[in-house]
Amino acid sequence: MTTAAGADPWAIPPLFAQLVDDTSLLQPRSAAPGVDVVVARYLSARDGRYGGLVGQLVCPVSRLSSLVAELARSVPSRPVEVSLVVDTGLGAVPKALSTVFSRSSLLTPRTIETAAPPDVDAVWLERVSEFVPEDVVAVVEPRRPAAAEPEDRDMWLDAVRRVAEHGCAPKLRCGGPRVSDVPSTADVEEFVRVVVDAGRGFTTLGLRQVVRTENGNGTAQHGILNLLVAVARALGDGDVRGAIESTDGAALAGEIGDLSERAVKGIRGLLSRCGADQEPVPATELVDLGLIS
């Protein structure tokens, strides 16, 4: 792991290394912080004491030019690893990649992310793959239906399975501006089981909490630790739903602390990145739980 001068390269255990992406730029522009604010915060976190936690900076294609301009002004110590989210159509991807590759001192492309139609098939997935270079990961989000009808959920999970089998990384939306953006415990459990069975890495969006919190109105915010433990239990044929529903941070941290090196590699081979936008680097909470120092 590469860290800036002064950062402690041993501060972050492998389970959390480069785990948390900054997805602030995906917020609606009326609510999102300015590109200058996001870049300053990202670079400060990446080059700071807990920089080993910091993953990619996620940027919609429509805001790429603003990001490039701000990075040119900021002069980062090393290129920023960026995930490009397709929000203006797949046809805009080649130009966006050309822009990124031409500014290699500022940016390194790691993933291309796009939403998928409910009936996503191999033809559509192959078209996505054509736009993505070999050394860049294609991330596809089959949109989860708002309705809780069993046939709708089955269609969504089938789409997740097709994405994984095609070699793309499925994405699970765990939160957002709408109540419907937060999946049920059952949906998270089924998604985890599908990707574990497929053996394909996946990413998330909207995990704003380290540990699950109940909102008191029948809704909840899923937690990063919950999902890590859920994947660990799925790999070991354990109680996945119990891991997702737990609000006991100490218990989750204890279970994580008992993981073997092999188990950690297996978990991160599946859960590659977690997107967060309110507090992209949750170092304080992890320190309080004794998971990093």
Measure Cα distances from 168 to 164, 199, 228 in Å: 5, 11, 20
Distances (CA, A) of 248 to 37, 45, 210, 219: 33, 27, 11, 17
Q: Does residue 184 register a pLDDT over 50? A: yes
Sign of the torsion angle spanned by Cα atoms 35, 41, 42, 44? positive
Q: What is the pLDDT of residue 150?
A: 84
* Calpha distance 134→138 (Å, rounded): 9
Superfamily of domain 14-288: Aldolase class I (3.20.20.70)
pTM score, whole prediction? 0.92
Distance of alpha carbon 129 from alpha carbon 138, whole angstroms: 7
pLDDT for residue 120 is more than 70? yes
What is the model's pLDDT at position 108?
97
pLDDT at 82 over 50: yes
- The per-residue pLDDT for 5 is 43
| Residue 2, pLDDT above cutoff 60 | no
Q: Which of 2-6, 176-180, 215-219 has the highest mean pLDDT?
A: 176-180
Whether pLDDT at 247 is above 80: yes
Pairing between strand 220-221 and 213-214?
A: antiparallel
pLDDT of residue 219: 77
The pLDDT assigned to 4 comes to 44
Structure confidence by residue, pLDDT tens digits, 25-61: 998 878 778 999 999 999 999 999 999 999 999 999 9
Domains of the chain by residue range? 14-288
